Amino acid sequence: MSQPTLPDIDDVRRAAETLRDVAVRTPMEESRWLSSLAGGPVHLKCENLQRTGSFKARGAYVRIAGLTPEERERGVVAASAGNHAQGVALAAQRLGIAARVYMPEGAPIPKERATKGYGAEVVFHGRHLEDALAEARAYAEETGAVLIHPFDHRPTSAGQGTCGLEILEQVPDVKTVLVPTGGGGLLAGIALAVKALRPDVRVVGVQAAGAAAFPESLASGHPVALQQMQTMADGIAVGLPGEVTFSLVRDLVDDVWTVGEESLSRALLSLVERAKMVVEPAGAAAVAALLDDPRRVETPAVAVLSGGNIDPLLLGKVIRHGLAAAGRYLYLRVCIPDRPGGLARLLAEIGEMGANVLEVTHERISPSLAIDEVEVRVQLETRSAQHAEDVMTRLRERGHRIQE
């Protein structure tokens, strides 16, 4: 792989000037809940409160603001699952430039609507970001529109690096920065800014395990495309790192960790409950890594909440998934005597233990049941994983034959 032209700290500083009246200096909130788990201060960099709801507005604006008058006349085209789309649409609107955005099928509805709301034309194409990006490239070649890549361009990485400058200003004694990572634009930009000014700070990327292109790419020494991806975190579902981002991550980032789907949903739920922050699954990746192993992070630490653009329907599903992962739901199969009052006694015992019954069904035909038994399938709402264990223990002590 040929070495691309990489940005430097001066590019990041110039980007900060370009964004002075455009991007929001997002809040940095200390999290007592995460701090207690990690054994030291943990802060949340709230890019979910950035304009357009994610960090993408930074890089997209810097890239588009640098176009020549002739390039602006031709318009811009981009591919995005939603956050970059909104950043491009906002920048194009502010600068008076026509914009077309290709989105993969199934992109979140709020992201589509917001992109259109900023004045961009939206076209759906393909299942994954790479499909939409290929179509955007074809459109650029056909029409002369300027392709605004979601992460693989020098000004874009410099723009994302302005988040790193803010982190150092807001938490001067930071030791570790955790960054949600897809194609690597935010991670590369933050690492560039942080390592230039504080090379002692540890910078760690966090990817969804079902869409983790960086570990294999870094091990191979060049970008390697994933053959398939499966994750709820559409904002970081990128199957191939870019050349610019790969080079910066390879040279500057200390480690890349992965987190599973249950960890993502638990983190999202915890951020809603404990931090009062609404984020999308991708935006919760850094917190998910903290929750997986809080003590492996040297504090003071900063976890970047990279985006908050989540479909309310998906939010409901993820919250339910997170509740289940946190032991707040319990599904039991309980064998009881098939006679009057048997179900009532079971439900009364469950109620005495403070569990809430959500659903009850019966199963009478099963070779595992005695002739005078019935299987009751019960879905319960519990207070915690320990409470769920206590409920099962009490039911067994009272003679019930149960299966989780």
- 238 contacts 186 by C-beta, under 8 angstroms: no
Note whether 159 and 271 are within 8 A (CB). Answer: no
Helical (H) or strand (E) element with 247: helix 243-252
Query: Would residue 276 show up in a list of annotated catalytic residues for this protein?
Result: no
Q: Are strands 146-147 and 373-381 parallel, antiparallel or unpaired?
A: unpaired
Q: What is the DSSP letter of 274?
A: I
CA distance 64 to 145: 12
Query: In which order are the strands placed within the sheet that holds 329-337?
Result: 356-363, 373-381, 329-337, 401-403
The two beta strands, 373-381 and 329-337, are: antiparallel
What is the spatial distance between Cα 210 and Cα 231, in angstroms, rounded to a whole number?
Answer: 5
Rg (CA), the chain: 25
Q: Which of 45, 56, 111, 195 is catalytic?
A: 56
Angstrom distance (rounded) from CA 379 to CA 364: 18
> Looking up tokens 């020549």, which residue turns up?
68
DSSP tally for the chain: helices H, then strands E: 16, 14
The answer for residues whose C-beta is within 8 angstroms of residue 220's C-beta and 6 or more apart is: none
**Side by side, which strands form the sheet with 176-180?**
28-30, 42-46, 301-305, 176-180, 202-208, 255-259
Written as one string, the DSSP assignment of 192-219 is HHHHHH-TTSEEEEEEEGGG--HHHHHH
Residue 361 makes CB contacts below 8 A (sequence gap 6+) with: 376, 377
Q: CA distances (Å), 147 to each of 65, 118, 126, 318, 393, in order?
A: 13, 18, 18, 33, 60
Which residue among the candidates 80, 157, 263, 306 is catalytic per the annotation?
A: 306
Q: Is 56 a catalytic residue?
A: yes
> What amino acid positions are annotated as catalytic residues?
56, 306
